[in-house]
Amino acid sequence: MYNATASNVRADTGTFGPPVDEVHYYYDQWPIGLAISRQGRIFACYTRGDYVAFTETYTLGEVSNETAEVPYPNLELNTPSGGLWTVVDGTASGSNSQDAFISVQALFITPDDTLWVLDTGRPTINATTAPNMPYAAPGGPKLCSINLTNNSVTRTYTFPPDVHFPDSYMNDLRFDMRPNITDSGQGIAYIVDSSDEGRNGFIILDLGTGQSWRHLNQHPSTLRTFEDVPSYQGIPFYQRTMGQPLRSLQEGADGAELSLDGSVLFYSPLTSDYLYSIETQYLRVDPNTDNLAARRANVNVKNIGQRGGNANGFAGDSNGAVYMLMPEHNAIYNFNTTTLQAEPFVRDPRYIS
């Protein structure tokens, strides 16, 4: 009779890579975005709506101790004067407030220690019966910059209706602050539109002029994979939403990261195993001023191949690595731009996204 021992039986420990430190514990709200300043200040954002427990909470906060956060910069800037949403002629619309945060999805801190806040303008409503999002109202979806020295908003960018559609959903963003890439010399923001209902693609924003335009609208590389069924913690995942039929995940373009020199944008849909890239020179041309700009962008997308599963949040480092959060594996992978392969970086059962 064969006697199996620990020495000859293979087992999955569920971990690899460097040890994971627990830094902060969230109790009241589940964060969707995080950013850490050069001074070590930790900021978190939370999408919000008319959830029973969270009706009066904030959407942008700063960690104050190991188990608590406070509204940032203050509660007033987290409180639109007319409420989070309204109904006009029977149609629900998000707040059009340009002066307060409605539902913040993503944060980013640039090398000058500026905090950038991406507000979708689309809170969740009817959360306890049939959750859905009201259409965005012009002025509500916005990008704000905050000076961390005096904790004040220094600039707010909004988007015209032909760039941010009523059913758009701004999900993530990256910045190229090189002074030589625009006439204004103040850099470019690349914003992911990952709408479940609308047209996936990218919003490009000139930070100097405030002008914005779109690229890769409905390009296959930005669209969700039909009937994608990932597995989380060993369980096949189907979308179960109150008041709606069973369905699969619907999200298209999600994670994005720039190469170290800003010349390439890596990205992928949430519901895809494939990684894509495009040279940013094609995205920086406004299609409104060049009638071939959209065509050039569309035909210059590169399919880099599969990377081992679905991925959502991306990040980079000073070595040019592209890190991808892999929720199916409770892991973070690194796309090695030299070997052109996805490589394991760290895995831990506590990584649940």
Order of strands, sheet of 341-347, starting from the edge strand that comes earlier in the sequence: 314-316, 322-326, 331-336, 341-347
CA dihedral for 84, 138, 166, 302, sign (positive or negative): negative
Type and span of the H or E element at 337: none
Contacts of 67 (CB under 8 A, 6+ apart): 24, 25, 27
User: Which residues on neighbouring strands pair with residue 278, listed in sequence order?
Assistant: 265
d(CA 227, CA 125): 26
Nearest to 257 by CA among 269, 265, 246: 265
pLDDT of 11: 81
pLDDT of 53: 52
Name the residue with tokens 């020179």: 281
d(CA 164, CA 160): 6
Compute how many other C-beta atoms are within 10 angstroms of the C-beta atom of residue 329.
18
Tens-level pLDDT at each residue, the chain (353 residues)? 555 555 678 888 889 999 999 999 998 788 999 999 999 999 999 998 776 454 558 999 999 999 999 999 999 999 999 899 999 888 999 999 999 999 999 999 999 999 999 999 999 887 666 668 899 999 999 999 999 999 999 999 999 999 999 999 999 999 999 999 999 999 999 999 999 887 999 999 999 999 999 999 999 999 988 888 888 888 898 988 777 789 888 788 999 999 999 999 999 999 999 999 999 999 999 999 999 999 999 999 999 999 999 998 999 998 889 999 999 999 999 999 889 999 999 999 988 76
Report pTM: 0.93
Residue 137 CB burial class (10 angstroms; 0-12, 13-18, ≥19): buried
Compute how many other C-beta atoms are within 10 angstroms of the C-beta atom of residue 18.
8
CA dihedral for 197, 201, 205, 210, sign (positive or negative): negative
d(CA 256, CA 278): 11
User: Which residues on neighbouring strands pair with residue 61, listed in sequence order?
Assistant: 44, 71
Q: Are 111 and 100 in contact (CB under 8 A)?
A: no
pLDDT of 241: 77
pLDDT of 353: 66
Q: What is the CA radius of gyration of the chain?
A: 21
pLDDT of 214: 98
Nearest to 42 by CA among 6, 17, 69: 69
pLDDT of 2: 52
User: Which residues on neighbouring strands pair with residue 268, listed in sequence order?
Assistant: 255
Q: Are 64 and 72 in contact (CB under 8 A)?
A: no
